[in-house]
Chain A
Amino acid sequence: MLRATLKSLLGRKLRLVLSGLAVVLGVMFVAGAFVVTDTLGRSFDQLFATAFEGTDVGVSAKPKIEVSEMEGEQVASTLPAAAVQQVRNVQGVKSATGVVNSDGARVIGSDGKVLAGTGPPRLGENWVGTDDLLQLREGRGPTADDEIAVNALIAKQGKLKIGDKVGVLTLEPKKMFTLVGIWGYAGDKDSIGGSQEVAFTEPVAQKLMIGRTGEFNMINVKAADGVTPEQLRDRIAATIGAGYDVKTGDQLAEDNAAGLKEFLGFFNKILLGFASVALFVGIFLILNTFSIIIAQRTKELAMMRALGASRRQVIGSVLLEAVVIGLVAALLGLGAGVGVGAALGQFFASLNDGFEMATVGVPLSAVVSSLLVGVLVTVVAALLPALRASRISPVAAMQDVATPDRPLTKVSVAGAVVGATGGTLLAIGLYGSGGLWLILGGVLVCFIGIALLTPLISRPVVALLGRLFSWSVPGRLGRLNSGRNPRRTAITAAALMVGIALVTGVTVVMDSAKKSLAAQAEDTIRAQVIIGGDQNGPRPPTFDPAVIDKTAQIAGVRGAAGIWQDQAKINGELTYVTATKDLAVLGDAFGGLQLSPLKDDQMAVSTQQLTEKGWKVGDTVSVQLSHGDERRYTITESYDEDAMVGGYQVPFAAAKDFGIPQPVFGFVRLTDGTTVDQVLPAIKALVADSPEVSATDRTTFIQDQLADLDTIITMVQVLLALAILIAVLGVVNTLALSVLERTRELGLLRAVGLSRGQTMRMVTVEAVVISVFGALLGVAVGSGLGAAVVRALKDDGIDQLVLPWGGMGTYLVLAALVGVLAAVLPSIKAARLNVLAAIAHD
């Protein structure tokens, strides 16, 4: 039996290649995800190992608020100069240097634009001289308050040279400096992992980066000879007390890398999620292939049964075939995945100038998951066909089996049951307390249910679609062929459905969210002009508070309110808080609320937050901001969150303890009769010095804020492209197999005068009908799923349902094109058939 299996395997190369390809692509995605995560992870390890090479022990104050990499940006904590002295006195310390290095120093290049920086930090530092790692390339360190040195990366990106006047944005608005030095790093590196670094004199660094002189972010300690970093760490920790984190350089490197790896882990999960979709679609393809192969092999299998093979042996032979295909495909996929992982890593590196990628490795996780997934997926897909094969009776060997049309009742009932189960799961997930997994599971089960129902749906829909082509003989034949095997058409179309449904669903949700939020914002925001920036780094761009005051002076401006924002812990829970100079002005400019001013120990909380937390006006809560001590505030007022910025308003006095004590937005309300055009130029002139910040009218502002949602749609489309590609392979596969199966028919048609062109058209129509049917299903199912999600989000403010007709139309047209493309090879094959050989074929 084994020999026979392997022989029949090799005898059907085309089918193997096509069904194997689905596994290869899916596994490639899986392996690629693991490889890129591993490679980048090791790159980060290397990077931080380099960064902390010169640090035996690092001392920093425990952050007031710990923010993980996933939740937002950690505000660097600060420590007083006295602590540096204290550490210096510890026995075994060779040197202890107070270091300022905070993210947020944005250098303006020679073209007047802020240097791009999306990933790696833009550090502002105090100049502490050169060492083994840091090496001056040109000039010297800054000695005067208006001097800076920058690392070579900045100099290159900004095309800066010694003596240039360079603008730098920090906590304070743009300040001009003279560039006196450019440095690089050991090993001829321009940067460490793409970080931009600017060094000021110590007092300037403290003032601009921390906001307080006499404070540092960290103490960099070197151990005297004979003292290990660990010993020194323990000694310092014992001396300096509980308010500090004391860690060895290795620990610091590890901690820093761990933060980024958390991100990678998340990224990995997303990639794997999309890989699962691709593999899920692949299952359809493989299932279809095996079903067709087995239908075609009916005689052969029946013969084996007649010769005494048991059912078990038949199942075994089919599953063995699956294992072999799965294994080979998994190995190929693994190989391709390493390539993809390397390419993704390169892509990431290219996004971050100066990022050095570690050598690409193949982690064990990639190998294990690839093989497991490849084999498992193939075997699962082959299970049903294997069972069907085992039910072939030996008599079939003697009969001319025109595979009888099995009734669709059973499969349809199963589909209805499965679909209903999926719908229920989805409903519980959406409306109950189910959460994401239940929703995803529900969607998956729904897909299976719909796929099972598809044969039933396919009959009327395919007949209807086919009408479009029935005006010509090839068209009519193609239509008849596509309706010929409802199961096969259905599975092929269902595979295409999955990808398109997900894309459509996401688009429905995003578009609805966009429209709803935009409408709400239009309703709520009364300010006609908004000052603010695009948040393209880890921190929102802030601007000089003076801009707000000056704006308020402009003729035609009724009021201008700046808002300051930061993360804070309220009763121990991480949340965002807002502060403004005058709540009354903000209330008027933003949502038309009338709020009384807050005293220094008072705060206002939205009714929504009060309900959620179970608090009431009059309660006292404790608030920990990025800086300063924990303070208690009494809730004196509540308001409607929909008509205000943020859920918690703290008094303006607290804003100085925010991570960045500068406003992020300014809301400007004009006097009646003043048009936006009259004041906008004046306001724009005020922010001219803050290149990341702009003043825009309300509509533009709202659209800009919601632009991220479009990015999500694009991302999902890109990531689902693979699943859709696999589905297209499925169409190719089905057609190729159909052409093969109908060789004699094609021969007959050619014999009675069907031309090559007509033959190709016939095959193409079949492909187009199947693809468009799949896309129609996808669009319909996606809209349904999207609408369900939107409906469930009603309470969260998404109250408008937007169906992306344009997008759906595009998918249908694309599907038709895909059909044409998928038909190219099979139709050529069909047209090339030798008429005689085809007639003789069996």
Chain B
Amino acid sequence: MTGTQAPEPMAARAEEVWKVYGKAEAQVVALRGVSATFGRGRFTAIMGPSGSGKSTLMHCLAGLDTVTRGTVHIGGTEVTGLNDKAMTKLRRDRVGFIFQQFNLLPTLTAAENIRLPLDIAGRKPDPQWWDTVIETVGLQDRLKHRPAQLSGGQQQRVACARALISRPDVIFADEPTGNLDSKSGAEVLSFLRDSVREHGQTIVMVTHDPVAASYTDRVIFLADGAIVHELANPTPETVLEAMKSGEVLV
């Protein structure tokens, strides 16, 4: 249960976060006092066995779900205790999402999907940043297409672009490559890594895949709702090793 004290300014922080689902007999403790800090411009992976609380932690960090106990900060703002309106605004302006699937609105074109958070907020995209994002995701000639006309990998790249376009404090990605083949997955992952390296974006990503984890700067291992291990500058081998060690596999 150790949050790394990162030297760089933090983008998101969880302090002693508990999450309990249900009541009495049916009670499930999904998070038991998790504390973690995600530094600005860092790419962090959250790993752990199924049911260990990865998604729950991410949802709590992103303001999609409330915590039972503890506090969560995004940038300088305490998320816990915000009402729906403020939470919505926070998500809109300061958080980006990439889900495993179903990331795009089928009625909108790729470009419109990317612009959606800005449109909702009534803001115009910065043209230079727009061009940069579109170029990095390599979707120049697909902008007018609708999601149904795009491959799964392309769809995830559109989702990445959408998460990036509003330059959020932090992007949360829950198994963004879970549904992709290794080649498309690699494209998306290197794109995410590049945006961290080149543009100082902060990304927190949940994954099961040691290779995916190796794109990040740091891996946090969860087991049974608690952080059990950490790994800096991971490679597929070190991750796999950590996973094999009894400490991680609860």
Contacts and interface: CB of A to CB of B under 8 A. Distances in A.
Interface of A: 402, 473, 477, 480-481, 484, 744-745, 748-756, 758, 835-836, 839
Interface string B109-153: 000000011011110000000000000000000000000100000
Contacts of A481: 107
A484 B107 contact: yes
Contacts of A839: 99, 102
Interface residues of B, number: 27
B120 A758 contact: yes
A19 B104 CA distance: 31
Pairs A-B, 8 closest by C-beta atoms: A753-B92, A480-B107, A473-B119, A755-B88, A752-B117, A753-B91, A753-B120, A473-B120
Given A753-B88, A753-B117, A754-B88, A748 B102 contact: yes
Given A755-B85, A836-B64, 19 more contacts: A473-B116, A477-B108, A480-B108, A748-B104, A748-B105, A749-B116, A750-B88, A751-B99, A752-B97, A752-B116, A752-B120, A752-B162, A753-B89, A753-B91, A753-B92, A753-B117, A754-B92, A756-B85, A756-B88
B68 interface: no
Nearest to B96: A752
A333 B69 CA distance: 52
27 contacts: A402-B148, A473-B116, A473-B120, A473-B122, A477-B107, A745-B102, A745-B105, A748-B103, A749-B105, A750-B88, A751-B99, A752-B91, A753-B88, A753-B91, A753-B92, A753-B121, A754-B92, A755-B85, A755-B88, A755-B89, A755-B92, A756-B84, A756-B85, A756-B88, A836-B64, A839-B99, A839-B102
Given A756-B84, A758-B120, A751 B64 contact: yes
B214 to A, nearest CB: 27
B107 A751 contact: no
Nearest to B97: A751
Contacts of A480: 107-108
B223 to A, nearest CB: 22
B15 interface: no
Contact of B65 (A477, A748, A836): A836
A405 to B, nearest CB: 10
A657 B18 CA distance: 102
Contacts of B187: none
Point out which of A480, A751, A756 has the most chain B C-beta atoms below 10 A from its C-beta: A751
B217 interface: no
Interface string B161-193: 010000000000000000000000000000000
A473 B107 CA distance: 13
B16 interface: no
Interface string B44-67: 000000000000000100001100
Contacts of A753: 88-89, 91-93, 117, 120-121
B155 to A, nearest CB: 12
A752 B92 contact: yes
B81 interface: no
Point out which of A402, A744, A753 has the most chain B C-beta atoms below 10 A from its C-beta: A753
Nearest to A756: B84
A754 B85 CA distance: 10
A365 B49 CA distance: 68
B43 to A, nearest CB: 21
B26 to A, nearest CB: 17
B236 interface: no
A634 B64 CA distance: 97
A505 to B, nearest CB: 36
Contacts of B148: 402
Contacts of B104: 748
B9 interface: no
A760 to B, nearest CB: 13
A653 B88 CA distance: 91
A600 B93 CA distance: 99
Contacts of B91: 751-753
A480 B109 CA distance: 11
